[in-house]
Amino acid sequence: MRRLLLLAALVFVSSCGSDLLAPVQTLDGQWTGIQGGYSMSLSMVQSGTTISGEVSLGGVAGFAQGTIAGSLTAQNVELTFTIDGADEPVKYTGTLSTENAKIFGKLNGSGFVNQELDVRKK
Q: pTM of the entire structure?
A: 0.81
For residue 15, tell me if it sits in a domain.
no
For residue 99, tell me if it sits in a domain.
yes
- DSSP letters, 29-88, are EEEEEEETTEEEEEEEEEETTEEEEEEEEEETTEEEEEEEEEEEETTEEEEEEEETT-SS
pLDDT-wise least confident of 17-21, 51-55, 56-60, 117-121:
17-21
Full domain range(s) for residue 41: 21-121
For residue 7, tell me if it sits in a domain.
no
pLDDT-wise least confident of 21-25, 44-48, 65-69, 104-108:
21-25
For residue 8, tell me if it sits in a domain.
no
Domain count, the chain: 1
* Residue 16: band (very low, low, confident or very high) from pLDDT cuts 50, 70, 90: very low
For residue 115, tell me if it sits in a domain.
yes
CATH code at position 41 = 2.40.128.120
Percent of the chain residues past pLDDT 70, beyond the cut? 84
pLDDT tens digits for 36-91? 999 999 999 999 999 999 999 999 989 999 999 999 999 999 999 999 888 899 99
For residue 11, tell me if it sits in a domain.
no
For residue 6, tell me if it sits in a domain.
no
For residue 46, tell me if it sits in a domain.
yes
pLDDT score of 15 more than 80: no
